[in-house]
């Protein structure tokens, strides 16, 4: 299910760096590039055997980004953008991985990446104001700054089903897919979960397997991607106007060129609403989110969009009882991440696909031969866990991070994550979290959110150097105020109503806290810039190491 275990490299001698970066995905790669530009010594530790992060691990059939390829790519280098050609409107996982390898080669990043090396622990030394970082290969390194580029959806989660380890067939998690691929020909396959990963993979698995059983606990809203080859005129237009498009995306709420209609849904007469939704459905993807201004803040407005999509599902799925099961009803549309699919609902018209409602007939046990629900037993050759991630905090909690007075981050976050700007944590000086909880992150085009954080951190480190500052730390007041603000803004929207991974509802026992910042990437960027311009307001800066 996972990468082959890395061979021990032996205990390496201690070394000292300006910065350690954890993770070689979109965040870590750009961070390394920026730090090198500042003349700082930096090293990435990466658990995988190659670059890519999320795009290294998520290799399930049909894995594809739900943000359009021209937008879901770095904007920091015009040359990079001019020389790289995306082939499809929505890039597939292999293409994104090729792109990230190209970036790593082009900027000569790999020489400072230690692959197949997992950071196990990071401890802050208050006397020296430095972090000691340890890896599973016995390496120990001291760095002034520790930068977590660990991703928001990188800690894969397999629920603790009874009998989970007794199954004698093959099991897979979508987020740890075998590199050699999987041939499901002739197999009876069970897919557990109906989030984005299942919605992308089920149509592909169904074309191969003899039968697919989809176990759905909560139906999801999905809109068509209308994916296809990128038309040359689209690429030409992008290259001609790239600077303008990128600037718009950087300041937009979702970091996307969404074409947001400012009119509230309820001000439009029903026919106008209908044709607006139809037009967005034809465009495909997240365009649906921009149809009206109030979809995510007004339940009645949201209902009009939700009912539109439910009607579409009824129109696609031929068996009315199956269609009925696929209709999401108990949360507003887009308050769980909207899925973007290619033929998902139509897949349920195939004779070799069965939908099982795991809400009314829950999965009770995984057996040696398959799976048992409260109603029936299913004989399976393989089980695919499309069960998601311990989102936003999981990858950080998996590392033993200890700040001042040896306090563990896990302990500090036991009631839910607390950060200042999603960038720093009180009690953990010189530790940065790229797209950490409390920042726009997953509610924005991730690449735009990442670039904004990396640039802010790099500028901050340059400032600290110029002003001879040894440590920076979020103040208690600033952190408290930011956490309150993140909650306040979230509560003006419908988002907290859904049992989503945004609130940790998919992980039993995880405190229910709305983790990302929904104030919008543009607004957030401005706040971060103002804070920096005011000499890093809300941060305590110390010119030499302090004991406490």
Q: Which residues bind ligand NA7 (CB under 6 A)?
A: 153, 159, 174, 192-198, 217-218, 337, 358, 363, 386-388, 501, 506
Report the residue number, 507 or 532, with the smaller CB distance to ligand NA7. Answer: 507
Considering the complex, state which of residue 428 and residue 501 has its C-beta at the smaller distance from ligand NA7: 501
Query: 147 or 386, CB closer to ligand NA7?
Result: 386
Q: Which of 367, 351, 306 has the alpha carbon at shortest distance from 333?
A: 306
Position closest to ligand NA7 via CB: 195
| Residue 502 CA: distances (Å) to CA of 75, 237, 441, 491, 499 | 27, 35, 11, 13, 8
Of 287, 296, 301, residue with least CA distance to 340: 287
* φ/ψ of residue 191, rounded to 5: -115, 120
Distance of closest approach, residue 312 Cβ to ligand NA7, in angstroms: 19
Residue 192 vs 448, nearer CB to ligand NA7: 192
Q: Which of 2, 50, 44, 51 is nearest to 25 (CA)?
A: 51
Nearer to ligand NA7, 295 or 392 (CB): 392
For 451-480, give the DSSP string.
Answer: HHHHHHHHHHHHHHHHTT--EEEE-HHHHH
Nearer residue to ligand NA7 within complex by CB, 193 or 538: 193
Q: Which is nearer to ligand NA7, 302 or 506 (CB)?
A: 506
CB of 303 to ligand NA7, least distance (A): 20
C-beta of 255: minimal distance to ligand NA7 in Å?
A: 14
Q: How far is the CB of 447 from ligand NA7 (least distance, A)?
A: 13
Q: Measured from the CB atom, is 99 or 161 closer to ligand NA7? A: 161
- Residue 506 CB, nearest approach to ligand NA7 (Å): 4
Other beta carbons within 10 angstroms of residue 166's beta carbon come to 12
Scan for tokens 């720093």, then name that residue: 424
Distance CA 387, CA 382 (A): 15
| Shortest CB 174 distance to ligand NA7, Å | 6
The CB-of-359 to ligand NA7 minimum distance in angstroms stands at 8
Quote the least distance from Cβ 505 to ligand NA7, whole Å.
7
Q: How far is the CB of 339 from ligand NA7 (least distance, A)?
A: 7
Residue 2 CB, nearest approach to ligand NA7 (Å) = 16
> What are the two backbone dihedrals, phi and then psi, of residue 318, each rounded to the nearest 5 degrees?
-70, -40
Give me the phi and psi of 371, to 5 degrees please.
-150, 145
Choose between 153 and 212: whose C-beta lies nearer to ligand NA7.
Answer: 153
Cβ-based neighbours of 25, under 8 Å, separated by 6 or more = 51, 52, 53, 54, 55, 56, 100, 149, 151, 154
Between 113 and 214, whose beta carbon lies closer to ligand NA7? 214
CB of 437 to ligand NA7, least distance (A): 15
**DSSP tag of 169:** S
- Residue with smaller CB distance to ligand NA7, 337 or 418: 337
Shortest distance, position 78 Cβ to ligand NA7, whole Å: 28
Beta strand pairing status for 113-114 and 377-379? unpaired
Longest dimension (CA), the chain: 70
Residue 182 phi/psi, 5-degree rounding, is: -130, 135
Q: Which residue is associated with the tokens 């990468």?
A: 3
- The residue among 196 and 227 lying less far from ligand NA7, judged by its C-beta, is 196
Handedness of CA 325, 331, 332, 334 (dihedral sign): negative
Interatomic CA distance for residues 491 and 404, integer angstroms? 32
Closest CA to 112 of 147, 80, 136: 147
Taking the CB of residue 206, how many other CB atoms lie within 10 A of it? 20
- The DSSP result for 96-138, as a single string, is HHHHHHHHHHHTT-GGGEE-S--EEEEEEETTTTEEEEEETTS
Residue 120 dihedral angles phi and psi, to the nearest 5°? -100, -30
Q: Which is nearer to ligand NA7, 196 or 439 (CB)?
A: 196
To ligand NA7, the closest distance from the beta carbon of 156 in angstroms equals: 8
How do the residues of the chain divide into helix, strand and coil, expressed in percent and rounded to 5? 35, 20, 45
Whether the Cβ atoms of residue 541 and residue 467 lie closer than 8 Å to each other: yes
The first and second tokens of residue 122, run together, are 């990071």
């Amino acid at each position: 299910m996972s990468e082959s275990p890395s061979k021990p490299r032996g205990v390496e001698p201690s070394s000292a760096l300006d910065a350690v970066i954890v993770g070689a995905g979109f965040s870590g790669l750009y961070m390394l590039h920026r730090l090198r530009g500042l003349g700082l010594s930096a090293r990435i530790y990466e658990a995988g055997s190659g670059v890519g992060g999320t795009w290294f691990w998520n290799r399930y059939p049909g894995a594809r980004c739900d943000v359009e390829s021209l937008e879901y790519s770095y904007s920091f280098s015009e040359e990079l953008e001019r020389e790289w050609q995306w082939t499809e409107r929505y890039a597939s996982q292999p293409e994104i991985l090729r792109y990230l390898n190209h970036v790593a080669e082009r900027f000569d990043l790999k020489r400072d990446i230690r692959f197949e090396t997992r950071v196990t622990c990071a401890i802050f030394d208050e006397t020296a104001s430095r972090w000691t970082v340890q890896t599973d290969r016995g390496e120990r390194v001291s760095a002034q700054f520790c930068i977590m580029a660990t991703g928001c959806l990188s800690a894969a989660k397999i629920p603790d089903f009874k009998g989970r380890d007794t199954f004698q067939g093959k099991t897979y998690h979508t987020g740890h897919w075998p590199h050699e691929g999987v041939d499901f020909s002739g197999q009876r396959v069970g897919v557990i979960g109906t989030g984005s990963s299942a919605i992308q993979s089920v149509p592909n698995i169904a074309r191969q397997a003899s039968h697919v059983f989809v176990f759905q606990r909560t139906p999801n809203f999905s809109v068509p991607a209308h994916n296809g080859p990128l038309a040359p005129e689209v690429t030409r237009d992008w290259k001609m106007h790239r600077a303008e498009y990128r600037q718009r995306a950087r300041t937009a709420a979702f970091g996307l060129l969404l074409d947001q209609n400012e009119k509230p849904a309820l001000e439009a007469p029903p026919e106008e609403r209908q044709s607006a939704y139809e037009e967005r459905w034809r465009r495909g993807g997240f365009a649906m989110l921009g149809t009206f201004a109030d979809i995510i803040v007004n339940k009645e407005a949201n209902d009009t969009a939700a009912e539109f999509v439910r009607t579409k599902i009824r129109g696609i799925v031929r068996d009315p009882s199956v269609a009925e099961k696929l209709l999401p009803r108990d949360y507003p549309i887009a308050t769980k991440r909207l899925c973007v699919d290619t033929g998902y609902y139509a897949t349920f018209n195939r004779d070799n696909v069965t939908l099982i409602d795991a809400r009314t007939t829950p999965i009770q046990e995984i057996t040696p031969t398959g799976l048992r629900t409260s109603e029936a037993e299913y004989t399976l050759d393989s089980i695919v866990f499309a069960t998601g991630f311990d989102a936003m905090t999981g990858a950080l909690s998996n590392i033993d991070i200890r700040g001042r007075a040896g306090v563990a981050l896990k302990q500090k976050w036991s009631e839910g994550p607390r950060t200042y700007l999603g960038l720093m944590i009180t009690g953990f000086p010189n530790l940065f979290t790229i797209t950490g909880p409390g920042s726009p992150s997953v509610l924005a085009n991730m690449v735009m959110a990442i670039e904004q954080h990396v640039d802010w951190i790099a500028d901050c480190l340059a400032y600290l150097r110029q002003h001879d500052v040894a440590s920076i730390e979020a103040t208690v007041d600033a952190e408290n105020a930011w956490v309150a603000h993140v909650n306040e803004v979230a509560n003006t929207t419908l988002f907290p109503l859904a049992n989503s991974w945004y609130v940790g509802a998919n992980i039993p026992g995880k405190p229910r806290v709305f983790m990302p910042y929904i104030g919008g990437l543009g607004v957030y960027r401005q706040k971060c810039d103002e804070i920096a311009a005011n000499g890093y307001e809300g941060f305590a800066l110390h010119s030499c190491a302090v004991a406490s």
